Amino acid sequence: ATKMQPKIVFVLGGPGAGKGTQCQKIVENFGYVHLSAGDLLREERNKPGSEYGELIENYIREGKIVPVEITCSLLENAINGSGKDKFLVDGFPRNQNNLDGWNKSVADKIQLQFVLVFECPMEICTERCLSRGAGGSGRSDDNLESLKKRFNTYLNETKPIIDYYEKLSLVRRIDATRSADEVYDDVKKIFQDYDV
Ligand code: UP5
Ligand code: MG
């Protein structure tokens, strides 16, 4: 018998748009596993003796995108090691290198359901990340200098990836400027429609 392919939803949006917050809610209601590429990279960075620790930290502080070989293998390991079959891949793919690497080594083994995009202007995104930083997030990129770079990377490198999926009619957009509960009301509709 053929093994069922894992189902994947990509979750994209600017830094602080609320990807992680909404993913937690989706997990509670729809039985997905949440895989944040950023969380996986921070975890790898923090491993004692990690080969890529320093590289990852430098990329994150500069708001640059880590080479796909690293991110893709972390994601693949998490998918294969989970024993589950539905995943929210949060914060990936973020640039052409990510997309090429994924399409080359993973895309054929999974079923991409859709790409969920949280739309939020830079001012609100920046404000959210700065207050998270002030609250002690411990994230080395929750400062104004890193945030400017993160948002520029989003505009210049990630938006074209969203355009690519738009042409494949896979993008579902959400206004992420409202309260987390209001945003989730819209998110829920998308997943409910998909489930029926
Ligand atoms: N908050 C959330 N929703 C809110 C709402 N509706 N109203 C008011 N406040 C709201 O939320 C951010 C903050 O806002 C929180 O304090 C939250 O309570 C509040 P969160 O849900 O964390 O937003 P999210 O979009 O997940 O923000 P995050 O900072 O995680 O986004 P980034 O995309 O910048 O971070 P990520 O961890 O994905 O990536 C970090 C870096 O890792 C990247 O810049 C890059 O250098 C590297 N990276 C790669 O190189 N490759 C990858 O594939 C992924 C990451
Ligand atoms: Mg996040």
| Mean pLDDT in order along the chain per 10 residues (196 residues) | 84 98 98 98 96 97 98 97 97 98 97 98 98 96 98 98 98 98 98 86
Ligand 2 being an ion, which residues bring their Cβ within 5 A of it? 19-20
> Which residues does the annotation place in the binding site for ATP?
16-21, 132, 178
Q: What CA–CA distance (Å, rounded) separates 106 from 138?
A: 32
14 lines ligand 1 (CB under 6 A): no
Largest CA distance in the chain: 53
Looking at residue 2, its pLDDT comes to: 58
Atom of ligand 1 nearest to the CA of 90: 38
| pTM of the shown model | 0.98
Query: Any bridge partners for residue 80, and if so which?
Result: none
Looking at residue 110, its pLDDT comes to: 97
Looking at residue 89, its pLDDT comes to: 99
Length of the chain: 196
Handedness of CA 183, 143, 132, 92 (dihedral sign): positive
> Which residues does the annotation place in the binding site?
16-21, 42, 64-66, 91-94, 98, 132, 139, 150, 178
Cα torsion for 60, 119, 187, 138, to the nearest 10°? Answer: 30
Looking at residue 4, its pLDDT comes to: 86
Looking at residue 91, its pLDDT comes to: 98
Q: What CA–CA distance (Å, rounded) separates 64 from 85?
A: 30
The tokens describing 113, both together, are: 């359901």
Instruction: Write phi, then psi, for 165 (nearest 5 degrees).
Output: -70, -30
Looking at residue 92, its pLDDT comes to: 99
